[in-house]
Structure formats: structure tokens, C-alpha cells
Amino acid sequence: MTYNNSNPPTPPVVATDNLTYLALGDSYTIGEAVNATQSYPYQLAAQLTQAGHITANPTIVARTGWTTDELINAINASGTAGKKYSIVTLLIGVNNQYRGYSKAVYRSEFAKLLSTAIDYANGDKAHVFVISIPNWGLTPFASGYDRKTIGDDVEQFNLINKDETNKQGVAWVDIGPAYSKTSTDATLTAGDGLHPAAGMYSLWVQALAPVVLSNLK
């Protein structure tokens, strides 16, 4: 008699559901300067599918340069009114900071967008995920700017969106630790010197996916 001491093959992950995904935001959400499939919404959908939650290609309402008020207006004109999604992500505010917009107005408009995101998730706050604003002061694009001032200002905007997110009982995912690697690893920034490369979006998904998967259970 012979014995096979090799480990048995890992059984394939069995899909248990089919998810829809809405991503709300700006240039970071559409993946400016990279292929769309390398953006964090597409990478997140792929990771969820790999984990057994079959996820359709994300519906994305985002554009480079959008501020909170522009995202609000775009949502109203997007044709998504009344639709419901299994998961919703929200990342918005860097352009409010860049343009020097009022933080008080940002708080009000962000809170409105978060309520809209919850409505898209059919009122299920556990399926809504807010992503922190990246500190663009770490990028080559910021050369010639006061990087410390940018970083401090972005932090203030993040404190606002984190506070509003916590008030609503929604998950807030901090991509700051991953983004800090931008200043020491040039490969994590896209060719435009400002937006993340695919590898940086992968780091974001490493932070985001476990939270999403935990809340889907």
C-alpha cells in the first residue's frame, strides 16, 4: 500500500451571493492616469469576487476635479435615483481642500452625500464605506507647494469626514498609512506625478477589502 503525503488541494471558494457596487467620488475613484480596471473600485470588486462574493463591475459616479457640491449635482443627474446597491463607497474632498473651500460647507455637503450613500445601500449602514482623503502634498506634483500646510489642511478635512462618518455609524477606512509610502516609492505614483499608480490602489484595497468582507458576513 502506498501513501500520498502531499497536502490535499485547497477547495475552490464557492460563491454565496451576487453583489452590486456603487462608487462615489472624484479622480481617485475613476483612477485618473491608470487603466479603469486598475482603479480601486475595480480592484475591490475583483477581490470580493475572489473571496466568494461575486461582484459586478462597479457603477461609478465620479470625475476628476469634482468637489462635494459637484458630486451632489452629478448624482442628481446620473440616472441612479431610486436604485439600490449591495455596497457603496464614498471618497470626496480633496478638491474642496485644493480650492480652499469652506470646511463648514464641506461638513454639511459631506453629511448630505453620506446620507445619500446610505440610501443607495437601502439604508444598510454596514454596507457603506468612507475612504479617507489622500495627502497629495506627498506627491511630486506638490513640489513648490508648502507640503506641511497641505498635509495639515488635508488632515482637517479628514477629521471632518471621519467625524460625520462616525456620527452615522458607517465604516471609515484610513488609507493614510498606505499613502505615506508615496514619498519614498516613486512607483506608487502614476505618470502625471499626482494620482496613485495601480500599486497604490492595491494598497488601498488591502485596507478596504477586509472591512467590506467583515461587514458582508
Is a pLDDT exceeding 50 seen at residue 73?
yes
Q: What is the CA angle 49-54-60, rounded to 5?
A: 85
Query: Span 169-198, mean pLDDT?
Result: 96
> Which string of DSSP letters, residue by residue, matches the chain?
-----SPPPPPPPPP-EEE-EEEEESHHHHTTTS-GGGSHHHHHHHHHHHTTEEEPPPEEEE-TT--HHHHHHHHHTTT-TT---SEEEE---HHHHHTT--HHHHHHHHHHHHHHHHHHTTT-GGGEEEEPPP-GGGSGGGTTS-HHHHHHHHHHHHHHHHHHHHHHT-EEE--HHHHGGGGT-GGGB-TTSSSBPHHHHHHHHHHHHHHHHHHH-
Rounded CA gap, 81 and 119, in Å? Answer: 10
Is a pLDDT exceeding 70 seen at residue 1?
no
The pTM for the full model equals 0.92
Q: Residue 67: its pLDDT value, please?
A: 98
104-124: per-residue pLDDT in tens? 999 999 999 999 999 999 999
Lowest mean per-residue pLDDT among 4-13, 60-69, 90-99 = 4-13
85 and 120 Cβ atoms separated by less than 8 Å? yes
Question: Average pLDDT, whole number, for the chain?
Answer: 93
Structural Rg of the chain based on CA atoms? 19
Query: Span 138-160, mean pLDDT?
Result: 97
